[in-house]
Amino acid sequence: MENQNTIIEGRNVRVGDMLVNRLLPAEHLGNVGPFLLLDHSYPIGFKKGMPFSPHLNEHPHRGLVTFTYVIDGEVEHLDSLGNREIVAEGGAHWLSAGRGVIHGDRVSDRLVHSGGNLHAIQFWTNIPAGHKSDLPQYKALKAGSFPIASLPNHGGVIRILLGKCGSYESPVQSISGAFLYRVTLNAKSEFRISVSGGMKSAIFVPDDLVIVNGSLIGKSQLLILGNKCDEIVLRNPGISNADAYILGGPEPAERVIVQGPFAMNSHKEIADAYRDFFAGEYGTIPQTKKA
């Protein structure tokens, strides 16, 4: 896997009420640079008038950042910091868990009652050891919050979701060096981008097929690039737009242990994270308190 491209199909996992394709971690691959998890929530349709389920699937985090990107529909976020926000298509929920927080995401009641589709992706990235005790932070990001640039030769557009790309920079901090770009390719178009040395990279394609460095991927597949790759070439062979997500960054400088919803640097720190959670130190989500 080190020096050749590898396609990952993922596996079905149930997260709360949703069925997702978990592409990271995968067999024999725990991470791509600072990226520790990639869950693709399959597209699901809601008929108008369907009953709304308030189930939140609330859970804790420590030592990592969650980034939930909405491809279609609306996702509501609630957390123990008191935040309650809804973001729609092209927007995202960014939560840096730091020393500990509880959160939950769910489809919005408005989408369920009015009818529509939900399609989303969630990523986890590592927080470097020196910042794992920082205070938790949250931001709701609308589609217009992300910088967007046109590709050469009328090839489409690129959106900077995390990190930097040239002079463009995401509106949220990425202290791990993680980068995440959404590339929307026009029909029969091609886009080339250089890969920095020392960076691990991968490309995720949720829907329509895209040719990546000669490999055809799509329909919820992840292509891991080999270490010797210094350029990513994306080509859309179809007659409609196609999306590809480029993700990656440097390998963590320290040992990272992921267990359940926590990403720490030792088994003792994992045990401490669970202890503090059960002691109530992460707080509670106000909207889900029992009367």
Does residue 68 belong to any structural domain of this protein?
Answer: yes
Does residue 125 belong to any structural domain of this protein?
Answer: yes
> CA 2 → CA 38, 224, 262, distances in Å?
20, 9, 27
* 50-74 burial code (b ≥16 CB/10 A, e <16): eeeeeebebebbbbbbbbbbbbebb
pLDDT of residue 55: 76
User: Average pLDDT for consecutive 10-residue bins of the chain (291 residues)?
Assistant: 82 91 95 98 90 84 98 97 97 98 94 94 98 98 98 97 96 96 98 88 97 96 87 97 97 96 98 98 78 34
The owner of tokens 């949703």 is 18
The owner of tokens 């709360």 is 16
CATH assignment at residue 60: 2.60.120.10
Whether pTM > 0.85 for this model: the answer is yes
Q: Are strands 210-212 and 179-185 parallel, antiparallel or unpaired?
A: unpaired
Tell me which amino acid residue 182 is. Answer: R
Of 62, 65, 67, the residue nearest 77 (C-alpha): 67
pLDDT of residue 289: 47
What's the CA gap between 285 and 126, in Å, rounded?
24
What's the CA gap between 187 and 38, in Å, rounded?
27
Q: Number of structural domains, the chain?
A: 1
Range of the domain at 163: 6-282
Does residue 45 belong to any structural domain of this protein?
Answer: yes
